[in-house]
Structure 1
Amino acid sequence: VSAGGTARARGTVPLTPDASPSWLRPLVDNVSQIPEALRRRLPPDVLEMLSSAKGVAEEREAAVLVLFSGPESGPADAGVPDEADLLLTVRASSLRHHAGQAAFPGGASDPTDDGPVATALREAQEETGIDVNRLHPLVVMERTFIAPSQFEVVPVLAYSPDPGPVAVVNEAETAIVSRVPVRAFINPDNRLMVYRGDLGRRWAGPAFLLNQMLVWGFTGQVISAVLDVAGWAKPWDTSDLRELDDAMTLVGEHGGAR
């Protein structure tokens, strides 16, 4: 993953940062720090290799929805409400790209999409059945190049006090749809570093071991950066390094999102 560059023109779908609840304000106000937080986890030589891959890639655009839900007021200590959650999916094992991976709802831009915000909302509705009229797009993060799929991905941060029901719409594309408690990502016991065996340990990135999924790769890196920038992260054991297949065997044995 390589973070950097400016976001594509976001189209005419309005952004409403003022709709952010108090507990999300630190993230909304400092969203420009996300790229640096992403780069911080990668060695310089890995960043250089990713930049080289980006330079020869055929540019394709995509967007994902980073949707937080929860009450409009937060705790007095400026932390995260216990009820706050983050919408994630697990991709079907039959897909060509990122099969079986936990991911934000999202996908490739359609020629008729009015910018990345429209792409993220459309894809989220198609994958989870969510009522996009309940959502408040807050800010657009800088695009990120994903080397395996050759996409430039724009994360769209959004909020809803009550997003309504969500579920798998098409089992051929999505295996799981889940609103995961934010506290599960903050919990140091759920955090580890994961790498793919064919790439080696230098490519290890932050991951989250939950009861239904292992969140790693681009999604894990973005969530880790969000926790850092928002000031929610707690110290965790970054030396807990697992190969991807070994880490996947632990899913379901971890005792759930805590």
Structure 2
Amino acid sequence: MAEKFPVADSPGINTTLMPENAPEWLRSALHVTGEDVVETIGKRAQQDVLPSPKSAAVLMLLGGESLEDATVLLTHRSPHLRSHSGQIAFPGGKIDPTDVNLVDAALREAWEETGLDRTSVTPLAHWGETFVPVRRNRINAVLAHWHTACPVGVVNPEEADDVFVLPVEQLLDPANRLSLAWDQWTTPAFRINGYIIWGFTAAALTTLFNQTGWTREWDQTTHWDLHETIAGSRNNERRV
């Protein structure tokens, strides 16, 4: 009999950060900050913009027992969405007033988008809020370890039409890394299965790899045009 997604979420459960339970191979990632991620994204022209009054939480879920078998949970946002349509992203979304805290929000959103059983997760660290001025986004990355893999998949294709567990090895492969450019701005990205991973998601992954020392040397001198590269991918983004 095929395994099923959890019938219901368990709001308010498993919402305490437990850095002491981090596996050894993830410990060096516990103290990353939102400023580190902003630095990785790269700065476009200075903009005097106020942050959005709404804050979002995303779940950066790493599975496996070591770097050799490490995985990360990612989604492809539906091209029909108004915000970040067609982008590859960590499960996540806005923090609701009913959420106990941002960990609760990240786990709830992950369940809504992928069917993730929150009891299979060990929340490890909050990287602090990342403010991305271009879209006024305030993003809180919650690093977590997927201690017991469970079934995940597309729950609502209008929100996320692809859900996949990607081997970190593929992201570390220099052949899958590239630098995107637009005007005077450059930012790291990944090319995976026809998708382009860029923006906050790529910056958070790049920061993780840099902070842990997992990064391998890759070509950062060749700059690919942002718009052309996205247009030629499977992302199907409505606008960049």
Task: With the length of structure 1 as denominator, give the TM-score of the two structures.
Answer: 0.79
Aligned residue number for residue 9 of structure 2: none
* CA RMSD, Structure 1 to Structure 2 (Å): 2.0
Aligned residue number for residue 186 of structure 1: 172
Aligned residue number for residue 22 of structure 2: 20
Residue of structure 2 aligned with 1:66, choices 26, 39, 60: 60
Q: Assess, with a 3 A threshold, how the Cα gap between structure 1 residues 163 and 222 changes in structure 2: closer, same or farther.
A: same
1:91/1:100 contact within 8 Å kept: yes
Aligned residue number for residue 147 of structure 1: 133
Question: Superposed, which structure 2 residues align to 1:51-62 within 5 Å?
Answer: 52-53=48-49, 56-62=50-56
Give the C-alpha shift of residue 38 in structure 1: 3.8
Query: For residues 174 and 232 of structure 2, what CA distance do their matches in structure 1 show?
Result: 16
Give the C-alpha shift of residue 37 in structure 1: 5.5
Query: For residues 215 and 244 of structure 1, what CA distance do their matches in structure 2 show?
Result: 11
Residue of structure 1 aligned with 2:114, choices 108, 122, 128: 128
Residue of structure 1 aligned with 2:46, choices 26, 35, 49: 49
Aligned residue number for residue 162 of structure 1: 148
Query: For residues 136 and 16 of structure 1, what CA distance do their matches in structure 2 show?
Result: 7
Structure 1: runs of 5 or more not aligned:
1-11, 75-79, 253-258
Counterpart residue identity of residue 172, structure 1 = E
1:128/1:169 contact within 8 Å kept: yes
**1:40-97 alpha-carbon deviations (Å, 9 max, x no partner):** 5525xx3x725x22xx3442111000000002xx3xxxxx12x210010010000001
1:63/1:153 contact within 8 Å kept: yes
Q: Assess, with a 3 A threshold, how the Cα gap between structure 1 residues 140 and 244 changes in structure 2: closer, same or farther.
A: same
**1:125-151 alpha-carbon deviations (Å, 9 max, x no partner):** 000001011100000011012335433
Query: For residues 175 and 191 of structure 2, what CA distance do their matches in structure 1 show?
Result: 9
1:143/1:155 contact within 8 Å kept: yes
Query: For residues 62 and 37 of structure 1, what CA distance do their matches in structure 2 show?
Result: 15
Query: For residues 224 and 58 of structure 1, what CA distance do their matches in structure 2 show?
Result: 25
1:37/1:228 contact within 8 Å kept: no
Question: Superposed, which structure 2 residues align to 1:1-258 within 5 Å?
Answer: 13-28=15-30, 30-32=31-33, 35-36=35-36, 38-39=38-39, 42-43=42-43, 46=44, 49-50=46-47, 52-53=48-49, 56-71=50-65, 74=66, 80-81=67-68, 83-195=69-181, 200-248=182-230, 251=233
- Number of matched residues? 221
Query: For residues 189 and 212 of structure 1, what CA distance do their matches in structure 2 show?
Result: 13
Query: For residues 181 and 237 of structure 1, what CA distance do their matches in structure 2 show?
Result: 21
2:38/2:130 contact within 8 Å kept: no
- Runs of 4+ in structure 1 deviating by more than 4 angstroms, as ranges, are 249-252
Give the C-alpha shift of residue 247 in structure 1: 1.9
SS of the counterpart of 1:120?
A: helix
Structure 2: runs of 5 or more not aligned:
1-13, 235-240
Identity of counterpart residues, as a percentage?
A: 35
1:210/1:251 contact within 8 Å kept: no
2:113/2:156 contact within 8 Å kept: yes
